[in-house]
Structure 1
Amino acid sequence: MFERIAELAIRRSRLVLVIAVVAVALMGALGAGAFGKLLGGGFDDPSSQSSRARQVIDDRFGGETNLVLLVRAAGGRIDTPGAERSGRALVAELRKEQDLDNVVSYWDTTSPDLRSKDGREALVLARVKGHDTEQQENAKGVIDAYAGTYGDTLTVKAGGSAGVSHEMGPQTGKDLVLAESIAVPLVLLLLLVVFGTVVAALLPLAIALIAIVGVFAELYLVGSVTDVSIFAINLTTALGLGLGVDYALLMISRFREQLAAGVSVEDAVRTTMSTAGRTVAFSAATVAAALAALMVFPQYFLRSFGYSGVGVVIIAALATLLVMPALLNVLGHRVNSGRMPWVKAGPAATGTSVWGRLARTVMRRPAFTALPVLAVLVVAASPLLGITFGTADERALPEGAESRQVSVSLRENFHGNDAAALRVVIDAPVDKAPLASYAATLSGLDGVARVEAGSGVYAEGQATAVGRGKPALSRPGARQLNVVSTLTPKSDAAKELVEEVRSTTPPPGTHPLVGGADAELVDSNASIGDRLPLAVGLIVITTFLLLFLFTGSVVQPLRALALNAISLGATLGVMTWIFQDGNLSGVLGFTPQPMETSMTVLMFCVAFGLSMDYEVFVTSRIKELHELGEDDESAVVDGLGHTGRVVSAAAALIAVSFFAFGTAEISFMQLFGLGSGLAILIDALAVRGVLVPAAMRLLGRSAWYAPGFLRTFHGRFGLSESGPAPAAAPVERNGKKPTRV
């Protein structure tokens, strides 16, 4: 297949390039509408108890409160005549808004729970209508209209889930623009350093552009039929830029190597496709397999990264395999045009490169060199012993974000946080006495400030104000109870309260559903935890099969998986030390909190896939030399000598595109960017540079072992990096036998 693609690129180069330009234009036109299809949120399992509770509340009670307006009196208490008049006028205007319902305020109820402890602030609670994108647009209109100064006596700040989404969406766009404005110039500069010529440096950016534009078009199409998270854009740009550079770098390096050996342009294209082209295809398969595992999770936040991740890998690989050989054939020796002044003429002696010398040193003393590296990685992984998990909330935003300020005020200045209450719904008729008994029991649980029901308000195990019940919590054939606590939202104590509420004996014949933010956290962690073994199992099995088909060995896949586990453990440990334990929080400007569950899983899958990317790069060249007759040590030394510079350069380039997200204002995007970039560097430097040659030396010939029946199977169905023999002249080194380049 790769030989046929090479022949097509040689015979029809310009036609291939014209078709590529037209395809990019069409994908760009389609992808321009992607942002209008993407949504915020998506962190919840739609089949969980909390999600089902929210659905009942939407259907039977008009929906949960999702907008909290914090109203502050400019010159004194909120009960002064002027503040009260303005407050009532504000509520009257809000009730006229077609996009709002269930508007409840302090001035309507005179409830002390809706007034701050110092009497200077009051709450207006409401529900923004609509679903997903419609709700986001409606919230924007309401918040833009009312947030800020109202009249001469009040200031209004917007919070709640609608307020958080209102700020998080635009902030994501700003973070993306800033990250790309940093990453693209740095990547171009590094490409100039790596290639040393302007033309060669620009080619990877062309592949990256095709990958990014293509996935934008894919997200538009997928977003038209299912929910897709807006955060998928961040992965699309970072991974598209990184993989485009990775794959193009491998192809261009091999092509230039062949030209330097004196072969014709056409033969250089053929050899590049039959060797580096196969490597790109296998590498893409391993990365796509790791990212496809994200689709087993029910949260569309994670599934969205599966859609975009698999898409960007496939499109980047197709662009590299179809467009790059045509570009190389058209350019020929001009790929070396625009030589930078610091570059010397003539190819470098790859056999004596830094990576080749490092590999030789490691293989002579594998234990001496590998054990210190292993020790450092184990120490780096040690914070995992204390890792805890949470979900995204307003704390991911900067401290100055308005919705975050509202949340802080609710927690510190009010008697219980109504917006963070547990919502207990019973989708069945319940008599007054059993319901009152159930509410009283719930109010006696540790940490509960009060329980609000249609029949009354309960605290410390008894009714406190039967006459002040909330009729809106009672519907024909359904009941709702709000369990308001004094606990810090999403804390361990708050999660324990969810379990206690769920285990409390309900009225006879009923099956309550418990929802609310803390219940959603409990359900999300449980859902991801339940599916995680399946996702990891799929990654391990597909990776093992692909590497076996590529190498014909059962030991090489096991060695690769073991080293990957070590490097990923170190990365997750360092991220826990930074983002959960709070180290570097002052430098990076985030609030320490438990590791965001979905983002941690995403980082694991992305880092695993990219690690296997470099595994294939290195192993393919070692295997090629091994099949050409080199002994085990020479194959490893020469293989790393040839690929080490490519891998380290590719790692630096893709790490830059991820590290750029360290400038983000949203903390879980910082976590993803810094974690992914660190994982790539650890893998490329520590694992490929030291642990791989050490492991190959210790394994010896057994590194290529497979049972007889599997060798037969691989001989029939396996794919190897075969094809036209590389055309470089033999090189004599230190008295060793000649090898092919």
Structure 2
Amino acid sequence: MTDASSTLSRLGRTLARRPKTVVLTWVVLIGLGFATALGAFGNDRLFDRLTTGEPSVSGENLQGRDLIVEHGESALKTYTVRVDGVDPRDPSVAPVLAAVKEVPGVAEVTPPVPGPDGFATVVTLAGDPDRAQQEAVEERVRAAYAPLTSGNSGARVSAGGLSDLISAITDQLEVDLRTGEGIALPVSFLVMIVVFGGFVAAGMPIVGAIASIAGALASLLGFSYLIDLDTTAVNVVTVLGLGLCIDYGLLMVSRFREELRARAQGMPARDIPREMVAEATARTVDSAGRTIVFSGLTVAISLGGLIVFEAQIMKAVGAAGLSVVLIAMVVALTLIPALCVLGARRLLRRGTEVAPEHGVFSRLAQWVHRRPIPIILGSLAVLVALALPALDVRLTSSGEELLPTSSPERQFFEGLARDYPQLGGADVTVVAQAPVAQAKEYAAGLALPAGASVRGVEAMRDGYSVVSLDVPGGSLGDPARALVGELRADRPDFPTWVVGQASGLRDFTDSMVERAPYAFALVALATLVLLFLMTGSVVIPVKALLLNVVSLGASLGVLVLVFQQGHLEGLLGFDSVGAVESTIPLLVLAFGFGLSMDYEVFLLSRIVELHEQGYSNDDAVVMGLQRSGRIITSAALLVVIVFSGFVAGKLLIIKETGVGLAVAVALDATLVRMLLVPATMTLLGDWNWWAPKRLKALHARFGITE
């Protein structure tokens, strides 16, 4: 029976009375969300406000970079121009460079640096131009180089700077998100037509997903004015909102049909009275809504753990993700039930029979009950085997490598590094609080790896110096990483700061490792408390936590196999950089944990409901799996489709996110939810529901049950 006094039940009755008002309100909000994110009201577009680059935390690398800005040259913006097919000694070159220097907004132009088939110059921009001003100056610079190509069919001018690289990455992100959504939404719709057996029921979760995307983009635009938003944050948060809304929409629509069928047995769908629809809506929002609230809280808890970390990108993803979870919950609790009310009779057009209590999933549970130990051992063996490669994970922080090899920006920067290595920054830099003479003495005594060299030692202001080192394998290669460790371990008599990509990556990973225990403790404690309030057991929450840890370890292992070791490069369309992007493992763990607990709540809510009705442990598991198995499997399949849609994108970090989360969801919905959970619950029997007497009394007072 429906608890008419509960808040969710009252909400359901209100929605049943005014469904058109609710739907029209959401239509307006969806339009406003998309319009706001796309800059229709005179504000900036979301994608114009994104940043990209190596994730940074406070530490030696950041301190050293600040010292370079404070005591050396200011952080000026530069623009590199490459001219192929023109000899730098050609008489036409000097007048062109003189004209470039006269371009408004240009502070300096370096002399031409000879290359294999031409030359390159570095243009330094004056002041601190914003993005629009910088683009205008760069356009005038390109025009100033045009005389070198006129009348010379073999000459070619190409140019690029950091802002161009960031623009290329954010533009590719926008394209990839559209591609992912363009694949995920239609395919999900087709799958849901099969699952629900009709267009109306299938369309409701898709409408909810569109509402979630609109709300997520508008929310992220708001966050971009408060914190720096990385391209990764937008990708992950948008995908999460899309996946959660499909999950919650599927659960709400399925429960509504079940409740309405139970009340309208044998009655033609067209004769179902409005009061019966209202009663079914109230019960659906009261029961499925409670599950959605629990699920949303568990996802929010997992994202809350990201806020513990020092890196701004983690805080940004955590904060923005929390808002998106809230949007998904509100959509599921208001828009989807209102749509169900409007389409109630069409949802049951094929009849009002009650769904069977026995089927594929109940037979699966009974099969598992007969052999729990072999199933537990076999499933754990598979998960552990998949997790083992994660022990050898190697992290990186890519720049142009994020783009596909066909990207002009990537080709430009890779060609520049190959043909003009002297124009790139040093692989490793040491900032020394010492006069240049003492710094040169220090540099001369360094034990450098084979092939490494001292590029130069330069004096800075206030008695500081900078030592530039070139290392084979680049700024993130193994020699550079090893050299950073040696330079930090073996200090001279004066203060030094080791700077570079390898140094920044080391600071980032050290910070992650340092904060991880606190984040895990926060997430684990909050999850255990929440599941205890739901189940009244201390065994089920601990078991759920342990199984999720093993499952997520397996998804990380697959990430390493695919992206670090390069398996499936051809199939997935990427070039391995021999490592995994530094932010991805933590994001996959956080979001994967949230989604895993999402399905845990879906299953446990049914089992707990049946157990409270007096069914035995085994019967509650069998019936709970039968009633929720189709929902969990369908929801997981749809979320895997969503994430797989983003694997079709070209940005490497989006592919890694999509693969990592798709694998996490697939493993959780199959090995964990369908096999390990029923097997362990069978093995433990009534011990599943054990809790100390004091906690039992606490649950009786504060527990959230049917």
Give the TM-score, by structure 2 length: 0.89
Q: Secondary structure at the match of 1:261?
A: helix
Report whether the alignment pairs 1:475 with 2:461: yes
Report whether the alignment pairs 1:155 with 2:156: yes
Instruction: Give the match for residue 130 of structure 2.
Output: 134
1:287 Cα offset (Å): 0.7
Change (3 A) 1:412 1:73: closer
Report whether the alignment pairs 1:55 with 2:59: no
Q: Distance in 1 between matches of 2:510 and 2:106?
A: 33
CA deviations 1:563-587 (Å, max 9, x no partner) are: 1112111111111111100111122
1:644 Cα offset (Å): 0.3
1:694 Cα offset (Å): 0.2
Report whether the alignment pairs 1:627 with 2:624: no
Report whether the alignment pairs 1:650 with 2:635: yes
Q: Secondary structure at the match of 1:419?
A: coil
C-alpha contact 1:370 1:694 (8 A) present in aligned 2: yes
AA of the residue aligned to 1:450:
V
Q: Distance in 2 between matches of 1:385 and 1:144?
A: 51
Aligned residue runs from structure 1 range 129-208, under 5 A = 134-135=130-131, 138=134, 142=138, 146=142, 150-151=148-149, 152=152, 154-158=155-159, 161-208=162-209
C-alpha contact 1:440 1:451 (8 A) present in aligned 2: no
Instruction: Give the match for residue 474 of structure 2.
Output: 488
Q: Distance in 2 between matches of 1:65 and 1:498?
A: 26
Q: Secondary structure at the match of 1:489?
A: coil
Instruction: Give the match for residue 214 of structure 1.
Output: 215
C-alpha contact 1:43 1:598 (8 A) present in aligned 2: no
Report whether the alignment pairs 1:320 with 2:332: yes
1:144 Cα offset (Å): 9.2
Aligned residue runs from structure 1 range 234-313, under 5 A = 234-263=235-264, 264-313=276-325
Q: Secondary structure at the match of 1:352?
A: coil
Change (3 A) 1:444 1:571: closer
Q: Distance in 2 between matches of 1:400 and 1:284?
A: 40
Q: Distance in 2 between matches of 1:486 and 1:391?
A: 18
Instruction: Give the match for residue 512 of structure 1.
Output: 496
Report whether the alignment pairs 1:390 with 2:375: no
Bigger Cα displacement from structure 2, 217-226 vs 365-374:
365-374
Q: Secondary structure at the match of 1:351?
A: coil
Bigger Cα displacement from structure 2, 327-336 vs 573-582:
327-336
Q: Distance in 2 between matches of 1:444 and 1:694?
A: 57
Q: Distance in 2 between matches of 1:28 and 1:349?
A: 39
Instruction: Give the match for residue 591 of structure 1.
Output: 575
In the TM superposition, structure 1's runs of 4+ consecutive aligned residues that sit over 6 Å from their partners are none
Change (3 A) 1:668 1:410: same
Q: Secondary structure at the match of 2:82?
A: strand
C-alpha contact 2:537 2:690 (8 A) present in aligned 1: yes
Change (3 A) 1:642 1:450: same
CA deviations 1:225-257 (Å, max 9, x no partner) are: 221123333224322221111111111111101
Unmatched 5+ stretches in structure 1: 108-113, 338-343, 455-472, 723-741
C-alpha contact 1:359 1:640 (8 A) present in aligned 2: yes
Q: How many residues align?
A: 678
AA of the residue aligned to 2:694:
F
Q: Secondary structure at the match of 1:582?
A: coil
C-alpha contact 2:428 2:475 (8 A) present in aligned 1: no
1:129 Cα offset (Å): 7.0
Give the TM-score, by structure 1 length: 0.85
Aligned match for 1:353, one of 348, 356, 359: 359
Q: Distance in 1 between matches of 2:579 and 2:64?
A: 25
Instruction: Give the match for residue 540 of structure 1.
Output: 524
Change (3 A) 1:450 1:407: farther
Aligned match for 1:423, one of 410, 415, 429: 429
Unmatched 5+ stretches in structure 2: 1-6, 40-44, 265-275
Aligned residue runs from structure 1 range 553-564, under 5 A = 553-564=537-548
1:37 Cα offset (Å): 5.7
Aligned match for 2:82, one of 55, 68, 71: 71
Aligned residue runs from structure 1 range 365-404, under 5 A = 365-404=371-410
Aligned residue runs from structure 1 range 598-613, under 5 A = 598-613=583-598
Q: Secondary structure at the match of 1:325?
A: helix
Instruction: Give the match for residue 271 of structure 2.
Output: none
Q: Secondary structure at the match of 2:80?
A: strand
Report whether the alignment pairs 1:570 with 2:554: yes
1:629 Cα offset (Å): 0.8
Change (3 A) 1:26 1:295: same
CA deviations 1:3-48 (Å, max 9, x no partner) are: 2212322344344334434433443443333515632225332422
Change (3 A) 1:420 1:668: farther
Q: Secondary structure at the match of 1:583?
A: coil
Q: Distance in 1 between matches of 2:455 and 2:298?
A: 52
CA deviations 1:79-110 (Å, max 9, x no partner) are: 5x32x743x455445544555556434x3xxx
1:517 Cα offset (Å): 2.2
Bigger Cα displacement from structure 2, 288-297 vs 28-37:
28-37
Bigger Cα displacement from structure 2, 575-584 vs 293-302:
293-302
1:558 Cα offset (Å): 0.9
C-alpha contact 2:57 2:511 (8 A) present in aligned 1: no
C-alpha contact 1:580 1:595 (8 A) present in aligned 2: yes
Instruction: Give the match for residue 639 of structure 1.
Output: 624
Identical aligned residues as a percent: 33
Change (3 A) 1:128 1:312: farther
Q: Distance in 2 between matches of 1:484 and 1:12?
A: 69
Change (3 A) 1:97 1:671: farther
CA deviations 1:168-193 (Å, max 9, x no partner) are: 12111221121111111101111111
Q: Distance in 2 between matches of 1:711 and 1:502?
A: 54
Bigger Cα displacement from structure 2, 120-129 vs 184-193:
120-129
AA of the residue aligned to 1:44:
P
